Homo-oligomer: A and B are copies of this chain.
């Protein structure tokens, strides 16, 4: 039931509701914010929220979509400079974390359903496909921008693999309670270096059997 937002006024109402929701989520947390509070803060009736958003969680999704769109220029910029794959990956992921930073904890509410690909809000769902593919494209760009030599057979799945690597990092980040999430940033730095090195290694003739094995596994996982 995506809202049609034909008129400017409707669009405005939608924005007001979303803004009220995000504000409350940030100050009181996702779970402790009620739909009635959101509606009241936006100056509308409870039901209005459901005219524009399918559910409470869909509001977090709307935030995610918004943020994803907004950070596109930042990402393009991060990938524009020359540099190694390691640098590109680190800049790409750091850019994302920076954008999400004010709503770090909130993201956890979204990723609750990560493990169920049937759930509309799962990062693996049909519904989030468009945004996911755009995301993966950024990693493909990081590869070409850094002029990394990638074995032919690995080139196809690699962007998606990097995206999943990033997703894992984001998971860690969300529940990282260290000050300023230093643990995540340390992990990011080291793991990105490892990943970049592994990709280089993967091209060695010696590595061919291992690479084939891994690709075999990937195919099992990705073939529906």
Contacts and interface: CB of A to CB of B under 8 A. Distances in A.
Q: What does DSSP make chain A's interface, helix, strand, loop or mixed?
A: helix
Contact of A220 (B108, B113, B118, B186): B186
Given A187-B220, A220-B183, A221-B187, A175 B213 contact: no
A148 interface: no
Contacts of A221: 172, 183, 187
A114 interface: yes
- Copy total for this chain: 2
Nearest to A198: B210
Contacts of A108: 115-116
Interface in A165-182: 171-172, 174-175
Nearest to A186: B220
A32 interface: no
A174 B190 CA distance: 32
Contacts of A116: 108, 112, 175
A42 to B, nearest CB: 28
Interface string A79-113: 00000000000000000000000000000100111
A204 interface: no
A200 B174 CA distance: 34
Contact of A115 (B117, B175, B183, B194): B175
Contact of A111 (B115, B174, B183, B223): B115
A216 interface: yes
Across the A-B interface, give the 7 residue pairs with the lowest CB-CB distance, nearest first.
Answer: A187-B220, A186-B220, A194-B213, A117-B175, A111-B115, A191-B217, A190-B217
